[in-house]
Amino acid sequence: MQYSLAENNEPKGNGQVKGKRKTKFVTAKTMPYLLLAPTLILFSIFYVYPIIYSVLLSFQTRVRGEYVFAGLKNYSRMIQDPIFYKALGNSMIILVIQVPLMLTLAVLMAVALNSSFLKLKGLFRIGFFSPVLTSLVAASVIFMLLLNKDYGLLNYVLTSIGLKPIGWLSDGYWPLVTLIIVTTWRWAGYNMVILLAGLQNISNDLYEAASIDGASKVKQFFYITLPQLKPVLLVTFIMSTIGSFQLFDEPYTLTGGGPNNRTLTLTLYLYQHGFTYFDFGYASAITYAVVLIVAILSIVQFKLAGDKD
Amino acid sequence: MKQRNQTLQKTLLYLALIIGVLITIIPFYWMIIGATNKSGDVFNIPPTFLPGSNLLDNLTNLNESILIWKSLFNSLFIAITYTLIGMLLCASAGYAFAKFDFKGRNVIFIVLLLSMMIPYQATIIPLFQLFAKLDWMNTYSAVILPQLVYVFPIFLMRQNMKALPDSLLEAARIDSAGEFYIFFRIALPTMKPALAAVAIFLFNHQWNNFMWPLVVMNTKDMFTLPVALSTLAGQDSIDYGQAMLGTTISVLPVIVIFLFMQKHFVSGILGGAVKG
Amino acid sequence: MKRFKLFTMLLITLLIVSACSSGNSNSDNEVAAPSDNPGEVSGDITVWAWALEAEYLSKTVIPAFAKQYPTIKVNMETIGNDQIYDKLTAGLAAGGSGLPDVTQIAVNKLPTFVNQFPKGFQEISNMGFDKHIGDFPESTIEAVKNLDGNVIAFPRDLGPVAVFYRVDIFEQAGVDPSKIVTWDDYIAAGKVVKEKTGVSMIGNRIGNQDDILRIMLQQQGKYYFDAEGKIDVSTVEMNRALTKIKEMNEAGILLNTSNWDGQVAAMKNGKVATNPDAVWWSGTMLDQMPELSGKWGTFPLPVFKEGGVHAADNGGSALTILSSSKNKEAAYLFSEFASANTEMQLKALENHGLFPAYKAVYDEPYFNQNQEYFNNQPVFKQFAEVVKEIPPVNFTESNLVARQVATDQLSALILEGASPEKVIDNMKKQISQQTGREAN
């Protein structure tokens, strides 16, 4: 390949750095620990305890207000719970369809907004970013007015051009489709910002050299932009994978998981059990099932992306 | 011929972007419509797409319902403090992961990544117990501290720092520059676009943080904006005029931050330091 | 390997720590009745409530209470409805920290909270509440008792059900609401309305809630559970209710409004002609659709057979004292003042639109007044009549699970064309799978 990844031609590690300075505390050896210390201290206080607590909780059930040890009961219940599988299936569908769709859009938007001749970049950027800023409660009303099968504006348009009205929130797979569209609408701009920052790190020299060689814009996109963007694309991929399994606000405000659980996500399901039914044990079991699945998926993505860590 | 082709391409690109932005900002625009109309008007079919004249009434009502300005202050104070400390934490952790080979690096990184996969709903109760035992409820630090380790921007910094050539750091070390000097004076300045993005994500994350400040803040003078706005909701109903005005007010600071930070996205290629 | 050992040790340590700390004792449930002499009780209390109730407590109750009990200071915190539950859940699960002295809670949520956190709520029967029991509807009192039969909350507002209808649309269709007695009449009228005006008879939030089903069950004296707490869905009454809902859909008179916002929009824009639901809708109608004043009226809930009960209750909330309260006497005096006091209850309705559960107030002249918004009908009198007949049902702590399942199955019935029998079978299976309860 003509343009290799920056990380590949870097010498790894700092082995060749000799401790020239005698007994200095801050050296290339101690530096990473010093850099990480505040993060790790905060992490062990505010993450480790809650995580261990909720892991333990997943082996307990509450009987008339008292927690009792229940072994693997919560987990075996989960394995037999058809609604859990429904939620898992929905999350998988969102992962497989929504994430690639959204990231493709985000890359296109970022590249377009990065082009040198474009005016009003700031306006476009804030425009695409604005859905993340808007409260979903505000958005929910307009969605109800737009999406209702019988009196919604969208179906009014569809029927006036001779198409059949669609049950956006009621019929068949449409509620899930609606959820995918709304989630994409809300988060594409967010990913665009991450990718824009990544694009800035690509050296202009690469493009100049390619232009001199006569490579077209499309070729440059596939042979320079995408490979160079890979580390940052990996971030957005993993974040979106996690995001699709933790999808909560959108189904919560838009559909409440209905109709008949067709838009129920795993996180919405665990919230139902934890905060509505007070079954924290079962909610914790679902939590760690989610963590396990996402962890496996992320490892696969790391491997596919060829990240060596 | 080529000239005309390019003009056509540009026009198409503008057209696509403009349509895209219009679709994206409808709900945002809708919020402003809601904020300037009477509460029931948002339910009109077909929707009212023009601003109304009820802005001042809504503001008066909102002022009566919640401590909007105190909540705005709380949110700003918390989010700014959080963003400043968070940027430093994320940059140093990301730098450590990207540019140093040390014992335990992969284990620590994987543990951090794993923690990101836990839905926040699962840790609310134990975290609450912790703060109740520490008697730290209803304070700014109770909202700022637990969120400070935000793994996503650490990860983002790590990926961006990887693009930083090692030769640059090595050269500085040979010149016997101190490690902190290298970090602050050589590595960080090249990271402006990434840092700007991280600042936006940190600020936005804390600004929209809802569930945790809700459970840990107990008096209205300590409520952040999202928590204060949620008090407008009844069992089913909500006053949309007030709610949308409140949301509009709460979005403005993020827009300012965004506009302020985004100029770094276009700061061009990293200052002379990086060459192919 | 070494690392693993360290981790195991850490885990065990934490296990022990958490085992020790989980045994925290809640304060004793025995509290003497507060003295009747104002001035003897003093101190600060904090109260949580949402929206209208919060407005009622802070604007109407607290000033009046301060005059009678000058030594008690009440701090009112307005919190969103769902948010109160999240905060209560966190506080109760943490063994009673960060909680107020008194909180508002929806009556249908109460059993779940009380059974999961039995030590979290103060019993008030022995604190003097017993003398008020007769002043509240039996169905409500039954709903605010804990498993030992002790009252643990002061009922505040109620949700008696009737049918709100559009007077102008009915006139245009030539339908006489007083002739609608049974659900069959209702469906027949609905067909006429649809044919003559194109407007749907009823809007329902399919996939979002199960209100219509619960209303139809309760008027027949049934619910998802029987008096012993067994799952009770395989009944003639359930089949009847589901069949009628399905008929409405097949007759084309049921409009799916998907969620609350969709329902409000449909009502405001004349897409539906009736709404069989609780009195608290009047608040939303006055707020969000003032231009429809005079166009809405009410008629009694249709029945399944002539002579059946026209009454059901949907919603309603109560005030409850948390056991973690340091000042239970003051909390009791305040809650009693806010819920069992004629003058306050009348103002709750007049000034804040909250329909009181306190029956003693129903004879006041205000109830007989004609309401301008509601076609000059004395609607509050009509709702008061309903309260007297509401059949008591057993919510149980699994109420919210059952409601979720029922909501899902209503979607299957309407959107996926499942038969009532199939729906009943699924409900039974799913509720027992989720709750472990026996089924009839």
pLDDT in tens, chain A (309 residues): 333 333 333 344 444 444 444 567 788 888 999 999 999 999 998 988 889 988 999 999 877 777 889 889 999 999 999 999 999 999 999 999 999 999 999 999 999 988 877 888 888 988 998 888 777 766 777 788 888 888 888 898 899 999 999 989 888 889 999 999 999 999 999 999 889 888 887 777 888 888 888 888 888 889 888 998 888 898 899 889 988 898 988 898 888 888 889 999 999 999 889 888 888 899 999 999 989 998 898 888 888 877 654
Which residue, among B54, B58, B231, B235, would best test binding to C if mutated, counting the most C CBs under 10 Å from its CB?
B235
- Both B127 and B214 in one domain: the answer is yes
Judged by a CB distance cut-off of 8 A, whether residue A120 touches chain C is no
Phi, psi of C299 (to 5 degrees): -140, 160
Whether C24 is in a domain gets the answer no
**What part of B 108-147 touches C (C-beta under 8 Å)?**
124-125, 128-129, 132, 137-138
Domain at C217, CATH number: 3.40.190.10
Please state the domain count of chain A. 1
**Shared domain check, C100 and C90:** yes
Same domain (yes/no): C56, C131: yes
Restricting to A residues 169-228, those with a Cβ less than 8 Å away from any Cβ of C are 169-171, 175
Distance separating alpha carbons of residues C75 and B221, to the nearest angstrom: 12
| Among A3, A27, A39, the residue to mutate for chain B (most B Cβ within 10 A) | A39
Per the structure, the complete domain to which residue C263 belongs is given by: 160-313+384-435
Unique residue bearing structure tokens 């009228």: C189
Residue C225 shares a structural domain with residue C292: yes
pLDDT for the residue numbered B250: 86
> How far B45 CA sits from the closest chain A CA (Å)?
7
**Residues from chain C contacting residue A271 (CB–CB below 8 Å):** none
Distance from CA of A120 to the nearest CA of C (A): 36
Domain harbouring A143, CATH code:
1.10.3720.10
Instruction: Indicate if B87 and B215 belong to the same structural domain.
Output: yes
pLDDT above 90: percentage of residues in chain B: 33
Same structural domain, C193 and C146: no
- Look at residue A126 and tell me if it is in a domain: yes
Question: Domain of B211: which CATH number?
Answer: 1.10.3720.10
Same domain, B97 and B8: no
Which of B12, B32, B53 delimits the end of a domain?
A: B53
Beta partners for residue A42, in sequence order: none
> Do B82 and B195 belong together in one domain?
yes
Does C276 fall in a domain?
A: yes
Contacts of A156 in chain B (CB under 8 A): 46
Q: How far apart are CA A67 and CA A53, in angstroms?
A: 13
Residue C363 lies in a domain: yes
Q: Are residues C174 and C127 in the same domain?
A: no
Q: Within a domain: residue B273?
A: no
- Strand stretches in chain A, DSSP E: 60-63, 66-69
The reply to whether B270 falls in a domain is no
Q: For residue B255, give its domain range.
A: 59-262
Which of A27, A134, A246 is the closest to B27 by Cβ?
A134
- B11 close to A (CB below 8 A): no
Q: What span, in angstroms and rounded, lies between the C-alpha atoms of A214 and A216?
A: 6
Judged by CB atoms closer than 8 Å, whether chains meet at C265 and A151 is answered as yes
Q: Kindly report which listed range (A135-139, A156-160, B192-196, C256-260) carries the lowest average pLDDT score.
A: A135-139
Q: Which residues pair with C151 in a beta bridge?
A: C145
Contact criterion met (CB < 8 Å) for A259 and C408? yes
* C282/C320 same-domain check: no
Same domain, C278 and C419: yes
Which of B45, B159, B201 minimises the CB distance to A231? B159
Provide, as residue numbers in chain C, all residues whose Cβ is less than 8 Å from the Cβ of A64. Answer: 115, 118
Please indicate, yes or no, whether residues C170 and C264 belong to a single structural domain of this protein.
Answer: yes
What b/e readout covers B169-203, taking b as 16+ CB neighbours within 10 angstroms?
Answer: beebbeeeebbeebbeebbbebbbbbbbbbbbbbb
Residues 6 or more apart from B257 whose CB is under 8 A from it? Answer: B199, B200, B203
The boundaries of the domain holding residue A91 are: 82-305
How far apart CA B144 and CA B222 sit, in angstroms, is 13
Q: Which tens digits make up the pLDDT trace of C175-232? A: 999 999 999 999 999 999 999 999 999 999 988 899 999 999 999 999 999 999 999 9
pLDDT in tens, C5-26: 444 444 444 444 444 444 333 4
C229 contacts chain B (CB < 8 A) = no
CB of B39 less than 8 A from some CB of C: yes
**Domain check: are B136 and B186 in the same one?**
yes
Residues B36 and B116 occupy one common structural domain: no
> SS3 string of C80-123?
CHHHHHHHHHHHHHCCCCCCCCEEEEECCCHHHHHHHCCCCECC
Lowest mean pLDDT among B115-129, C115-129, C239-253: B115-129
Task: Give partners of B (≥3 CB pairs < 8 A).
Answer: A, C
**Residue B226 sits in the same domain as residue B107:** yes
List of residues 6+ apart from C440 with CB closer than 8 A: C226, C230, C231, C232, C234, C235
* Inside any domain, residue C238: yes
Q: Between the CA atoms of B100, B105, B110 and B113, what dihedral angle is there, to the nearest 10 degrees?
A: -50
Amino acid, single-letter form, for residue B172: A
Q: Does B81 touch chain A (CB under 8 A)?
A: no
Q: Return the amino acid letter for C79.
A: I
How many contacts, defined by CB atoms under 8 Å, are there between A and B?
A: 270
Same domain, residue pair B119 and B85: yes
Instruction: Judge if B203 and B102 occupy the same domain.
Output: yes
pLDDT digits (tens, 9 = 90+) for B222-236: 999 989 988 887 766
- Same domain for B162 and B222, yes or no, is yes
Binary contact (C95, B129; C-beta < 8 A): yes
Tell me the pTM.
0.86
Whether C11 is covered by a domain: the verdict is no
Residue matched to tokens 């949580």:
C48
Q: Are residues B145 and B128 in the same domain?
A: yes
**Of A193, A30, A39, A192, whose CA–CA distance to A103 is shortest?**
A192
C433/A contact by beta carbon, under 8 A: yes
* Tokens 């709900």, located at residue: B27
Q: For residue A68, is it within any domain? A: no
Residue C298 shares a structural domain with residue C319: no
Contact A84, A269 (CB under 8 A): yes
Q: Which of C97, C106, C287 sits opposite B40 (nearest CB)?
A: C287
Tens-place pLDDT, residues C329-381 = 999 999 999 999 999 999 999 988 899 999 989 999 999 999 999 999 999 99
Highest mean pLDDT: which of A108-117, A189-198, B86-95, B134-143?
Answer: B86-95
Determine the residue of chain B that is closest to A112 in CA distance. B13
- Which chains sit next to A, with 3 or more Cβ pairs under 8 A? B, C
- Note whether residue C361 is domain-resident: yes
Instruction: Count up the domains in chain B and report the number.
Output: 2
> Same domain, yes or no, for B96 and B146?
yes
Domain tally, chain C: 2
Is pLDDT of C418 > 70?
A: yes
Query: CB distance A170–C271 less than 8 Å?
Result: no
Question: In three state form, how does the secondary structure of B25-54 look?
Answer: HHHHHHHHHHHHCCHHHHHCCCCCCCCCCC
pLDDT band of residue C36 (cuts 50, 70, 90) is: low
H-state helical runs in C361-415: 379-389, 399-415
DSSP C147-192: TTS-B-SEEEEEEEEEEEEEHHHHHHHT--GGG--BHHHHHHHHHH
Query: Which residue, C411, C402, C404, is CA-closest to C233?
Result: C402
Element (H, E) at C318: strand C313-321
Q: What is the ipTM of this complex?
A: 0.85
Give the C-alpha separation, C134 to C142, whole Å: 12
Neighbours of chain C (3+ CB pairs under 8 A): A, B
Instruction: Please identify among residues 243-262 of chain A the ones whose CB lies closer than 8 Å to any CB of chain C.
Output: 254-256, 258-261
Residues C211 and C226 in one domain: yes
- B73 found inside a domain: yes
- Residue C154, judged by CB atoms within 10 A of its CB (0-12, 13-18, 19+), counts as buried
Query: Which residues in chain C have Cβ-Cβ distances shorter than 8 Å to A67?
Result: 22
Do A135 and B247 make contact, defined as CB atoms within 8 angstroms? Answer: yes
Residues C167 and C298 reside in one and the same domain: yes
User: Which chain A residue lies closest to C198 (C-alpha atoms)?
Assistant: A150
Looking at the complex, does the CB of residue B131 fall below 8 Å from at least one CB of chain A?
Answer: no
Is there a domain that residue C376 lies in?
no
Instruction: Calculate mean pLDDT across residues B264-270.
Output: 50
Give chain A positions within 8 Å (CB) of C84.
Answer: none
The two three-digit tokens of residue C239, written as one number: 């089949």
Q: State the burial class of residue A298 (Cβ atoms within 10 Å of its Cβ: 0-12, 13-18, 19+).
A: buried
Q: Would you say A220 and A210 are in contact if contact means Cβ atoms under 8 Å apart?
A: yes
Report pLDDT for A99: 95
- Give the model confidence (pLDDT) of B19-70 as tens digits: 999 988 887 888 888 889 888 888 887 877 888 888 999 999 898 888 999 9
Q: Please report whether residue C5 resides in a domain.
A: no
> How many angstroms away from the CA of A197 is the closest CA of chain C?
37
CA distance A68 to chain C (A): 11
Do C250 and C398 belong together in one domain?
yes
pLDDT at B235: 66
B128 touches chain A (CB under 8 A): no
In a domain, A73, yes or no: no
End-to-end CA distance of chain A: 22
Closest CA to C292 of B60, B61, B56, B43: B43
